A and B are shown apart, each in its own frame.
Chain A
Amino acid sequence: MNEIFASTPFILLLVLGSYLVGCKLYRKKHFALFHPLLVAMILIIAILLLLDIDYDTFCAGSSFISFLLGPSVVALGYALYEQIEQIRGKEIPVLTAVIAGGIVGIVSVIAICQVMGVDEAITSSLQPKSVTIPIAISLSEHSRGIPSLTAVIVFGCGLLGGIVGPAVLDRCHVNSRIARGLALGSAAHGLGTARAIELGAVEGAISGLAIGLMGVVTSLLIPFFESIMR
């Protein structure tokens, strides 16, 4: 029986099945903590522990799914192309804002990590924390961070940004729909966009674009700040 549990088909079934359960639950409850990622994570870890399947076996079995992370990052290029129309005529303010946000995001992470004195690996894992998870994982791996830690932190930041974002923007008197959507997407990626869509169609569309822009900007800025600050 153990042989079956360690086989690739069983592990793929486990990942796909848990994810599907997560999607079903999310559609029914529509509550951010029931996000398919979190539900799938908890289910899979519980089952791995229960059936005594070790982590390396799981990695080998699920490598087929993990591989698709790379192509899906490439595919984001298409999403970006589709959405870039939204900001015709407003390229300068939008790009400046995203670049400013990217710089502040990376510098503040490195600065806080240095003040509080943590491992290099943790700083590397946190640097890409405002970008969409697939890009964040690639960037974290790339600068020798811990991808799983990055995934969880990025998710947490997205959750936080989505929940408090609109109130923070109100407090700072940011009222334009473009600015609000852009801020939510830049700071809280997909989870910010989910919230932005609730605010309105313009906010939602701009927020979707912000995810791609922030991904590109952060990827380009990280090597630069790594070389001057660390």
Chain B
Amino acid sequence: MIKGFCYIMLFYVIGEIVSMLIGKLIPGSVCGMILLFLALTLKWVRPNDVSRAATTLTHNMALFFVPASIGLMHEYKILMSNWAVLLTVSVVTTLLVIIVVGVTEERLDRKLSKKGGIEK
């Protein structure tokens, strides 16, 4: 498991470096995630080496953002004074995303498999 954590930290560090190089457009952790995915796909890293450490982290992820959400204690005034915008954005965009993703995938999938017919 230590090996797995070592790999994860390695990709976190490389991710931070990449993030710095691209002018901090994307957070280092997200760069690290993309790089780890690529390294696994390109078989530079064996999945077995990281699987235990990675699943330990991802299965308990909810715990790690508990402290961050406590900040609401400080920021609840923002929530109260902007509730109308927050509610509108949450409802409208969530529904939009569901509809757009669902409809696009289904239509495109049907169209492509009709045309090509090579789809497995």
Q: Count chain B residues whose beta carbon lies closer than 8 angstroms to a beta carbon of A.
A: 76
Q: Is the interface on chain A under 10, 10 to 19, 20 to 34, or 35 or more residues?
A: 35 or more
Q: Roughly how many angstroms separate A68 CA and B110 CA in the complex, as a whole number?
A: 42
Q: Per-residue 0/1 for A125-153: is the Cβ within 8 Å of any B Cβ (1 yes, 0 no)?
A: 01001101111011101100011110111
Contact of A48 with B57 in the complex, beta carbons under 8 Å = no
Q: Does B26 contact A (CB under 8 A)?
A: yes
A6 interface residue (CB < 8 Å to B): no
Evaluate contact between A68 and B30: CB separation under 8 angstroms.
Answer: no
Q: Are B57 and A72 in contact (CB under 8 A)?
A: yes
**In the assembled complex, which residues on chain A have CB atoms less than 8 Å from the CB atom of B79?**
149, 152
Closest A residue to B118 by CB, please name it.
A89
CB nearest neighbor in A for B23: A223
Main secondary structure of the interface of A (DSSP, over half): helix
**Which of B12, B36, B98 contacts A78, CB < 8 Å?**
B36
Partner of A172 from B11, B70, B72, B99 at Cβ < 8 Å: B99
A56 to B62, CA, bound (A): 21
Residues of chain A within 8 A (CB-CB) of B69 are: 37, 41, 148, 151-152, 155
Chain B hits for A228, CB < 8 A = none
Cross-chain contact B97 with A105 (CB below 8 angstroms) = yes
Beyond the given pairs A19-B66, A133-B61, 8 more chain A to chain B contacts, judged by CB atoms under 8 angstroms and listed by A's residue number, are A70-B29, A74-B11, A74-B12, A126-B89, A149-B79, A179-B105, A216-B33, A219-B30
Sorted nearest first, the 3 A-B pairs with minimum C-beta distance are A148-B71, A77-B36, A183-B102
